[in-house]
């Protein structure tokens, strides 16, 4: 694709208009299904002032994978944190999370991991999002795309992948657990309300509780006690499995807290839990070599 080599050399490289528009459109997943309703009083807007931020293409074997990135606007290299999306894709909340991490000194990069299966931008029904897109995304494809994201960050010269972390939310929380079992490069993971158990399928053959023995990095799990989709019993099972496997994991459960408690654009947002969890995430990264 035109401008591809320049893109690979630098996240700040000039891109052609067509390429830029394509990438921006691919990442323009809005809040159609995610916001019922949006709370204007709680939505956090993190400025890009002092940052370098935008959209790029991650080279993979079959296509470019669009990604949003943010990092300090000064010489690097910076420790790298991969940000893995909710089921709603790389929308503005995930971009804002990336900017928050950049403000903390990281290169944050959020690849659009549904790009081959389709866009969820115009979908308004969660069941439709899951049945038509999310359920068709193979874990193996996701792991490969995340590996490519790491290689891309390293190749820019601005990302220090010797200090690599991953964090994910909801669907991405599950992926964060799996990637910490998959990758030998990642130093620490933080999973926000990521599902821990489930039925095996062709696309999702194993779940976090199935790969505990293979974890290669310490993982912090952040959960809500009244999450309707992730019973506390499964969190307790995961904690026991990590202890039995002698893995460095911490699972925090916030009382009276629902799923998606960090999603400031949704009614599930719980600012006190979100603030505490964010501080715990940064401390986890710092304590495990991602800083």
Residue 78 CA to chain centroid, in angstroms?
Answer: 18
Question: In the 8-state DSSP scheme, what is residue 222?
Answer: E
Nearest to 192 by CA among 106, 94, 104: 94
Contact 108, 101 (CB under 8 A): yes
231-264 b/e (C-beta count within 10 Å ≥ 16 → b): eeebbeebbebbeeeebebebebbeebbbbbbbb
Q: Please provide residue 170's backbone torsions phi and psi, each rounded to the nearest 5 degrees.
A: 60, -115
**What is the full DSSP assignment across 99-147?**
HHHHHTT-EEEEE-TTTTT---TT---HHHHHHHTGGG--HHHHHHHHH
Q: How many CA atoms are closer than 13 Å to the CA of 18, on its beta-carbon side? A: 4
Closest by Cα among 48, 161, 163, 57 to 111? 57
Give the whole-angstrom CA distance, residue 91 versus residue 124. Answer: 14
Beta strands in the chain (DSSP E): 51-59, 64-72, 78-84, 107-111, 159-169, 188-192, 219-224, 249-254
Longest dimension (CA), the chain: 53
**What residues act catalytically?**
170, 227, 259
Closest CA to 124 of 247, 37, 44: 37
């Amino acid at each position: 694709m035109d401008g591809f080599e320049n893109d690979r050399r630098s996240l700040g490289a000039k891109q052609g208009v067509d390429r830029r528009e394509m990438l921006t459109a691919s990442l323009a997943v809005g809040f159609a299904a995610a916001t019922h309703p949006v709370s204007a009083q709680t939505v956090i807007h993190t400025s890009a002032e002092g940052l370098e931020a935008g959209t790029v293409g991650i080279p993979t074997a079959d296509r470019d994978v669009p990604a949003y990135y943010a990092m300090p606007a000064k010489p690097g290299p910076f420790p790298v944190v991969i940000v893995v999306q909710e089921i709603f894709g790389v929308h503005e909340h995930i971009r804002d999370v990336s900017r928050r991490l950049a403000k903390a000194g990281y290169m944050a990069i959020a690849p659009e991991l549904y790009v081959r299966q389709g866009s969820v931008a115009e979908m308004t029904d969660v069941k439709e999002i899951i049945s038509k897109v999310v359920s068709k995304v193979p874990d193996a494809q996701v792991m490969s795309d995340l590996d490519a994201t790491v290689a891309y960050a390293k190749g820019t010269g601005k990302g220090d992948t010797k200090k690599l972390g991953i964090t994910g939310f909801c669907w991405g929380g599950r992926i964060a657990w799996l990637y910490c079992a998959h990758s030998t490069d990642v130093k620490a993971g933080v999973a926000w309300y990521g599902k821990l158990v489930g039925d095996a399928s062709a696309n999702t053959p194993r779940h976090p509780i199935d790969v505990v023995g293979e974890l290669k990095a310490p993982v912090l799990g952040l959960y809500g006690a009244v999450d309707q989709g992730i019973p506390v019993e499964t969190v307790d099972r995961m904690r026991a499995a990590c202890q039995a496997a002698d893995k460095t994991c911490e699972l925090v459960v916030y009382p009276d807290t629902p799923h998606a408690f960090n999603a400031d654009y949704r009614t599930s947002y719980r600012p006190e839990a979100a603030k505490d969890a964010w501080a715990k995430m940064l401390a986890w990264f710092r304590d495990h070599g991602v800083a």
